[in-house]
Every structure is written in C-alpha cells, then in structure tokens.
Amino acid sequence: MTHTSLNPAPRELLKLVVVGHVDHGKSTLVGRLLYDTDALPEGKLEELQAVSAKRGMALEWSFVLDSFQAERDQAVTIDTTQIRFKTDRRDYVIIDAPGHREFLKNMVSGAAEADAAILVIDAAEGVREQSRRHGYLLHLLGVRQVAVVVNKMDLVDHDQSRFAEVAQEVTDYLAGIGVEPAAILPIAAREGANVAASSPELAWFNGPSLLDMLDRFQSVTRPSLQPLRLPIQDVYHFDERRILVGRVESGVLRAGDTVLFSPSNKTARVRSLEAWNAEPPLEAHAGHSVGLTLEEQLFLERGEVMSHEERPPQLTNVFKTTLFWLGHGALEPGQKLTAKLGTARYAVEVVAIEQTIDTDSLERRSGEALQRNGIGEAVLRSRALMVVDEAQTLPHSGRFVLLDGLDLVGGGLISMEGYPDQRSVMQVRASNVFSVEHGVSREERWARSGHKGGVIWLTGLSGAGKSTLAMALERLLFERGYQVYVLDGDNVRRGLNANLGFSPKDRAENIRRVGEAAALFADSGAVCITAFISPYQSDRDRARAATERLVPGGFHEIHVAADLATCEQRDPKGLYKKARAGEIADFTGVSAPYDPPSNPDFVVDTNALSIEDGVAELLEFCRSRIAFDPPKSN
C-alpha cells in the first residue's frame, strides 16, 4: 500500500514548556533562546535596546516576552504564550508557563501539551517551593523529558561547587518522584552563557549547551506505534455522505480498517479517508486531523472514541486518579464536576479522597479533602460509561481535566488498578436467541406464594455481617411462610462460579452471574437474599437491571455498613490477617477498592446495631417491599 501522508515530509516539531519558581529567570531564558536562534522579529532587538536605554538599564531579555503580550501585570507574567524558534534539526514551540503560585493553572495548561520541559532554578536561591511543585506536576502530567538549568551562574561567580550543590539538591528531589532529568546544565541566560554555546566562565562544565541538549530530545507528539485512538469531534453531512472528523491521538488509521467505536461498541469498516481539496490519503498517523467515511451508516456522536477491535480502550464508570486541584475551595467527597477526556465530557462525583501528597516532603497522608493547589489520590465515579486508558500506557487518553462550569479546576491521571474493564461484562456473544413466554403469570405465582418475588441484595465489606444477617433473615421469612433462599458468596464459588478468581475482571463476572441467577429466583416468585461483597457499584447496577428486566421494582440494595477497622477487628475467617500478610491478593478494603452504595434502598449499620436488632429492621423492610395484595374478584 502506498503511503500518502496528510502533511508530506513535515519538519519535526517539539513542544517545550519552561517552568520554575518565580524570578528564577524563565522569561530571560526564553528571550535569549529566541535571540540566539535568530527568531526575533525584524527590528525587535533594536526596539528592546531602545527601551532598555530609555530606562537606564542593561538589555533585559525578559522584555521580549513582555513585548509579545498585550500588557504586563506588576512584573509577573500571566498569560501562557506560544513562541516558535528552530534549529537545524527541528522546529520548537515554547510554551511559557509563569511560575507565580496564583498562576499554577497556566503552568498546568502548558505542560499538559508539552513533549519536554526545561526546569529553571536560580543558582543563588536553589530549589524552592515552586521548583518542587512544578517538578511534581511535570511528573504527574507525564512529561518525561526534562532538562534542568541552574540559571544565573553569573550571580555566584560561575562557581562550580555551587552548581554541584544545586544539582545534587534537584537530583535528590526528582529521584524521589521517579524523574531522572536528561541533563542538569549551568547557564547564565542574561549573558547567554551555555545557552547556544559554551562560555569561558563555564569552561569547567563538560556537558552540552542547552540548545544541543534540546536537540537530543525525542519528539513524542505523534506516537504512531501505540494503539489507535481517534476521539470523534464532529459529524458533517456533505454530498449525502456522513463524514466523521477528529484527530488521531495515537496509532495509525487506514482506509479499509475495521474499527470499533466506544462506548457504543459499534463496529464498521472505513470506506475512505477524506481531505479538503486534496488527494484522499490512504492513512493518517497520530497528530493528524482527518475526515473519514464508513461503509455502514452508524449513528455516532461527538465523544465516541474510534479504535481497532483488537486493542480497544477500557470502559468504566469508576476509576482511581492522581489529581491536582486548582479550585478556590477544598475538593471533598460528594462534589460534582465535569471531567473532560478528549472530546467527551462526563458528569462525575468525587467518591473519596484517599491520600494527599506534600510536594515539598513527598509525604503522603490520609485525607478527607484536597486543598487548593493540592495534589492527591482520589476515586471518581461518573454517571455514564467513560472511555479511558491507563495513563501509564496511553497518556493522551489516560489524563483528563476537571471543569466546574466552564472553569478549569483540576486534572489528573487515570488508574484502573483494582477496577475491572466493564467492556467484557457488557458484551453479548450469543446470537439467534429468542425469549420464551412462561405458561404461569407473575401474578399467579405471587398469589400462590402470598408475596411478591424479589431480590434482597446485601453488600458490604468482608466481616460486615452480610452472611449472618442473610441466614437469620432467611430463617425468619421461612418460618412466616415465605419462599426464600440465600445465595452466599462462598457457596456460589463452590459450584456455579468455581472457575472464577478474585481479580477485578473475575469479581465482575462473579456478580454478573449471581445477579442473573437471583433475577430468575425473583421471577419464579421467590425471595432471593444475596450476601456478596460486590465491591463495584457498576456491578450492582447491572444486577439491579437484570432483576428489573424480569420483575420491575423487585431489586432492593441493602448496605450492610461497618467501617474497615471494625470489620478487620472481627475478621471471622482470618482473611484480613492473611491479606495484610500478603497471602491474599486483591482483597477488598486492603488491596482492592470497595465502592459503597451511592443510593441504597436500606442501610443496616452493624457498627451500631446488634445482629438481632439488625435482622428485625431488615425483616420489616422486606415485608413492606414484598407484600402482595391480590386483586379482588368482582
């Protein structure tokens, strides 16, 4: 197949963000880089010289950026600006990211788009608060190519020992967060020492100049070797054709490919790639914006993500994230925001703030809230299925920003550790399957039993008391004439689900099967009590849907609530002890998450209630929900 590129033989482009503590010399460095690469507009140097002379001061390179912006704000640069320069090897876009604490949002916006970074540190002051915070955010945003420049070496008499001290200080910090800088360079941006070329004052340094170092970075904006991801941006109707448009974020798309759309799970074959007033290309690589037509007419909307079938993204409505928070108030559980991934937006709720991270000391603390400009680990849940990737695998589709209305208030990286890919439990592989009507109606069954059929779904941590409550409730209902049966976790895994383990995927399949079995019990007119940890809300929602499909109103989610410390103290089966010893993997509450019910039908608090009182409350709840009054005959 002949390769027809959308942009034949483009020059390589590297997006560069310049970060660091305020007044450590970022703007001066950018101005000097533009001068040394002949990137200043014609007449700009003379203009700067005139301005500096008028102010009675030496030429100040930071005025370059100031002159590019509409205004200055009390000597603190506010706006993120994009400025281009080039070397023999490639083109560069500098994303200037101001370092003032109040403008961290701009740094995040710039770094989120960058391929590489320059972290600027003042030789006299050394590593400061914003140096650490920016270093951590670079790591968090997935910027792996970092050059550290120890600037203002002229202020410390180009002292080699001082450079070594600062270099060691920043090396120690970055090592603590898993970042290995590509190089640490001494420079004096004001005089241009070691920016484009070495200088006599820094002759003791044997490393490259800054420009040489930048040319050694790899351009990573077009990861064509990764799985295909193309978020649909829009659908155009043109000449009776439906043209899907979007940018290839990773991978390669070719005419003739069979592609999968998520979350709709629809598949189609690509009929053609389209180009405006140009020969249609045969393939599009990461970084290219493209239009395409399909052989099948599918109803697709903005936000769907195109991939190849064999390497799809994951689907989930809950995930763990390491996030940064920029909102004015603290971020707390229960807060509702919008998460923006690619071209899709999802309504999300903060389920938990699990840890906060001190970017100075790198100490982690358990926390219930994340303060402004804070970084921490949290769990988010969305109303709809989200299309995601692990950030470590595919950064473009594994990171997101948080919006409060239209305001950017945070962002983070997605981790699916402990959570299943919900795509597998959604797939229906059987075909030519038809429903068969029963010869006995639901009402006839209820009339004979004297009560409705239904599912009493008990969920909670191991040791919360689910099985004890379930068996006691079964006894009481049976003695009162109810048709009742308990599906218990251990019992089911001896037979129906004996082939399943405890990985997130197997846990989801375990609950899917139990949910379907319980629904059949309910449809038969029986009361089915289940006692399963069932750690994921999404699985419980599917179990509810299975019952509601057969017995509308027949599913009742009961949260058997007890805190982890209490459950661990009870530890009736010794499982917590084994989990803490590392003998049990993926144990809920210890090494796997528990997603508590967001809106349970009933709560039994076994922290506060005795088993007898808990069963009594549960019995009254059940009797009220499954009571059946047969219609009166005329």
Query: Does residue 534 carry a catalytic annotation?
Result: yes
- Is residue 581 within 8 A of residue 568, CB to CB? The reply is no
Q: Catalytic residue among 534, 538, 610, 624, which?
A: 534
Over the Cα atoms of the chain, what is R_g? 31
DSSP three-state, residue 617: helix
Structure tokens at 584: 């049990």
- Is residue 530 within 8 A of residue 457, CB to CB? The reply is yes
150-177 burial: b if 16+ Cβ within 10 Å, else e = bbbbbbbebeeebbeebbeebeebbeee
- Is residue 404 within 8 A of residue 327, CB to CB? The reply is yes
475-498 burial: b if 16+ Cβ within 10 Å, else e = ebbeeeebbbbbbbbeebbeeebe
Alpha-carbon distance of 188 to 249, in angstroms, equals 38
Residues 6+ apart with CB under 8 A from 239: none
Alpha-carbon distance of 198 to 444, in angstroms, equals 92
Alpha-carbon distance of 591 to 466, in angstroms, equals 20
Long-range contact set of residues 326-331: C-beta below 8 Å, sequence gap at least 24 = 326/104, 326/105, 326/108, 326/372, 326/373, 326/408, 326/409, 326/410, 327/372, 327/404, 327/407, 327/409, 327/410, 328/372, 329/372, 330/369, 330/370, 330/371, 330/372, 331/369, 331/370, 331/374, 331/378, 331/410
- Is residue 99 within 8 A of residue 20, CB to CB? The reply is yes
Query: Tokens 């999802």 belong to which residue?
Result: 346
At 69, which helix (H) or strand (E)?
Answer: none
Q: Are strands 344-357 and 374-388 parallel, antiparallel or unpaired?
A: antiparallel
CA atoms within 13 A on the CB side of 81: 18
Alpha-carbon distance of 616 to 167, in angstroms, equals 68
- Is residue 195 within 8 A of residue 152, CB to CB? The reply is no
Structure tokens at 309: 């079938």
**Of residues 70, 504, 538, the one with CA closest to residue 263:** 538
Strand-pairing partners, residue 95, are 17, 82
**Of residues 405, 400, 403, the one with CA closest to residue 390:** 400
Structure tokens at 457: 């779904």
601-615 burial: b if 16+ Cβ within 10 Å, else e = ebbbebeebeeeebb
Alpha-carbon distance of 320 to 352, in angstroms, equals 9
Alpha-carbon distance of 487 to 519, in angstroms, equals 12
Alpha-carbon distance of 325 to 374, in angstroms, equals 5
Q: Are strands 91-96 and 13-20 parallel, antiparallel or unpaired?
A: parallel
Structure tokens at 44: 């700009």
Q: How far is CA 180 from CA 15, 175, 213, in A?
A: 19, 6, 15
Q: Catalytic positions, please?
A: 534
